Structure 1
């Protein structure tokens, strides 16, 4: 098996577990009688622990190679899944969320970094785009497995399904160790802390744009059901409208490799931002299920190009071999945004109503497009530095 294909398989197995476990946590907490607020705090802990460990995990993968962070992360995931099975309490779920959040950061950052390291410079953007397609598959497979495992085995025993998945990933990783690059790509030296990394203005711009993408995704996932419900649409129809978004996300990532043959990553992204902006500000102008479904698809297509593109740009703009750190700090910023954005836009909606939320979100995306347009264009479809 080719090394890249091996990493893709590892990613599909391991990250399906991590992404599905988020749903298991929420369902288990509700089963134990937790309020909606406490469930929100639980999921925030999961995201914030990923944020806290992101840069550190990237720094480790740059210095020690990617094998050890992936191995330790997979084993830590096993430990976290076992906590929720053994504990059977809200306190245990919070502990499990913290452990699994850190484990996920180690695995995710190292797997992303190793794909870049295994790629030739002129193929790196395309290979990272393929990795984003694998991420889309895990976003589908993980929640599907979570719901099925809870239905078949119950809330506590569902955690054991993810233990098995993580152990399978660990065994595959150990068996295929020789396929991974062993050398460190960056050694510790003076002046290479987080502050120095953030002095890279090109990378800082990518982080800002990436946070806008994640904010826009979460705002849509929260406010579209509220808006559709307010129009009196049935729950099934609301579900179909929401399903148009991940369908578009998968479609956009299938098309991304082709788009990168004709445009630079930044060129693709700023056009995608404009497309998403137009779709989002148009949503309050329509009240039909079909029109909202079409707009949700267009919005998802434009917006979900942004996640893999910002990953590609973060990797390209990392200097001094600090690619893992760049990927890690991107993950940290994205997870913090995932917690903060719903709170900010929720406050706007509570004070001013639904319409300003759509226009504020559209304005945010338009600012991202302008920020990209004003920046220096990168080389088309190149792997970067």
Structure 2
């Protein structure tokens, strides 16, 4: 189904969400049509944040908003759905559009398997009526469903469309880019070179995939790395837990700007405990690149001063490899909680692979390494 038909049938003029590759057609359409616009389209920090924005939109306009997300974001919406939107509380209507990663019977990555199994079960538990959109869904079927949904929304209840793989299409091509020169995979190569045998916790998405392939090219073991293949936004908290309990190890976290924004409160907790053996590296390309390249707000905020305000001992931003190497060498030998923002271009090589070890193997090898 063309995304233009999908949007017309939904009939809303306000969208907020966190981008996902499964609904890339919708994300690209919204960027093409509205860009980032406070009246029509806001990319939020996380899905719960988007749900609250949508509630504010309804309170101020009386209209029905749309919140879009990957199904991994359902966990983030449970609290505002249950304690804010629910018809037993404020009865705020909302349409959720959810990309169905890990759909049973469709091959996907390990972090999506269980989430895919419980996607519709979670909607049932939240009393959200849903309709599954596939490549075979007709405009007539969607129109009939939306007529039913309009009556449900009038009562202050929520509804959802669960989007299967390739269910929505958009013909226009959108190119996401910035003016930064450094390439993320090369950045990670520089980090790997300086970290030696220190443990690394890497964030969700292409950064972890690139780290895995760099180890393969270097004929290095993967035991040094914990690949946070799911749980976007939580790699820095995982690194904090490791750093506190392995104070004799220099612990590195390779993070992304979208992940940092998703759960930025972690930086305040890290800064409060101030582990002097943790280096928090944020590779900032101002984009949700792994799921398509849609923008984040990270280009418009000062992550270095945020880190300092949170209590990080040392914080710096770099945009060249010369400065990167100088800072990596400096923090390697520094005692104190360190933060490095690295300004990065958007893009990855097309033949980038995925880890060939299982998540369980990754965990067990990492734990054995830390024990040693």
Q: Same fold (TM over 0.5)?
A: no
Greater percentage in helix: 1
With the length of structure 1 as denominator, give the TM-score of the two structures. Answer: 0.26
Greater percentage in strand: 2
Which of 1 and 2 has higher RCO (CA within 8 Å, sep 6+)? 1
With the length of structure 2 as denominator, give the TM-score of the two structures. Answer: 0.27
